[in-house]
Amino acid sequence: MTKTGLRVASLENDSAQAAMIRAIVSGAGHECVTFTDGRRMLLTLRKVTFDLLLLDWDVPHVSGLEVLHWVRTHLDPRLPVMFVARRPAEADIAAALAAGADDYMVKPIRSVELSARVQALLRRVYPDTRQRDDDRLTWGRYAFDIVTHQATRDGAVVPLTPKEFELALLMFRNANRVVPRDHMVTAVWGREFSPMSRTIDTHISRVRNKLGLWDENGVRVVPVYTYGYRLELLDAQAAGDAMAQRRRSASQAPDEKKGTRRCLSQNS
């Protein structure tokens, strides 16, 4: 499977600026998940991996600086962290850098500059990762065009709605890892609603049926009760066994129907 794009977490409680950051990051070919308060971000960071953190300083519950302190204590020290904050004072910038931030951009957000800073950070930390020039994600019979938002199976286009495409891409990017329901909500819908909403399950079902995410096609969607979903990539042997089993089941069905007799009593 070809990895395209990286996962970026943005801590920003202003909806307009959060949308701007998502657009900039997505435009660079990466996935961006927004968190509106530091506490929610910390809860997610305990179970979900990101490749870059963009932090505002003044957010509810837990500040961006406190998030940074926790990250540098508990996560991989190589994880790049950049502040995008309204505090222009030299002392604040120095404090953030001293606490472990890799970069600091003072608001207002300048789109071209932020995109360039993000790309520079990612190139430095992940030098072997293909980024914007690699705009396709492929595995087995499936391919996803990141630019046109077009999905194909065996070369044939599979019509997906924008949300279905984003959800499918999210699952393939995180193949063989559990994707939490709350992460799906923020990554695909970009807004907060209950992680237990049936909206998630409905979209998963549609994606599974439209793309044919079944064992015989080399993939399997596994629900993790109340927590999320995992897309498992199967090897050729497992996919072949599944196909053979389905063929056996299909061939047995007519025989079973022929062998079914209606039992009548002598008095009928």
- Look up the pTM and report it: 0.55
**Tens digit of each residue's pLDDT (9 = 90 or more) over 211-254:** 999 998 999 999 988 788 989 988 766 555 555 565 565 566 55
Is the distance from CB of 173 to CB of 38 less than 8 angstroms?
no
Q: Which domains does the chain have, with CATH numbers?
A: 7-125 (3.40.50.2300), 136-233 (1.10.10.10)
193 band by pLDDT with thresholds 50, 70 and 90: low
Is the distance from CB of 94 to CB of 70 less than 8 angstroms?
no
